[in-house]
């Protein structure tokens, strides 16, 4: 590894130490369906987001609930505090498209229709709300 690459990699590692996140790669759900659920919890307090995901009828909500619990556990490990008394909220969530499986469905008269089975990557960020009254 070159010197410049090594320096930038170390800077990136230092920056990630202050971020609390969890990633879920290759989820076999279309990104559009996952974004509907992600938009429901963006900016919410963690406990409220967990309850919203638990009682949502969408299939993607189960996976996001598990991912949010993982992000909370990551925050607890890095800060060595409990999430119960902290003011945690979902600071950011992004859903990006991943690989697409291309399949053929037989069609009449010797044709074939293309089926695209989409998947996505989800990154969820958790942070604490600052309750400083002195800031203007």
Domains, the chain, in order of start with CATH, read 22-128 (3.90.470.10)
CB 98 within 8 A of CB 120: yes
Which tens digit of pLDDT belongs to each residue from 53-87? 999 999 999 999 999 999 999 999 988 888 887 88
Q: What is the pLDDT of residue 130?
A: 74
Q: How confident is the model at residue 131 (pLDDT cuts 50, 70, 90)?
A: low
Which pair of structure tokens corresponds to residue 114? 């293309």
Res. 100: pLDDT tops 50: yes
Q: What dihedral angle (degrees, nearest 10) is formed by the CA atoms of 111, 114, 115, 118?
A: 170
């Amino acid at each position: 590894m070159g010197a410049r690459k090594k320096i930038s990699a170390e800077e990136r590692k230092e920056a990630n130490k202050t971020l609390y996140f969890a990633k879920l790669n290759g989820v076999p759900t279309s990104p559009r369906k996952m974004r509907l659920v992600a938009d429901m919890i963006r900016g919410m307090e963690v406990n409220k987001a967990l309850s919203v995901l638990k009682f949502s009828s969408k299939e993607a909500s189960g996976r996001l609930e598990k991912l949010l619990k993982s992000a909370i556990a990551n925050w607890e490990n890095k800060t060595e505090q409990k999430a119960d008394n902290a003011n945690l909220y979902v600071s950011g969530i992004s859903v990006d498209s991943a690989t697409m499986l291309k399949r053929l469905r037989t069609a009449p008269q010797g044709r074939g229709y293309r089926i695209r089975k989409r998947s996505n990557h989800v990154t969820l960020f958790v942070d604490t709300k600052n309750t400083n009254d002195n800031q203007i």
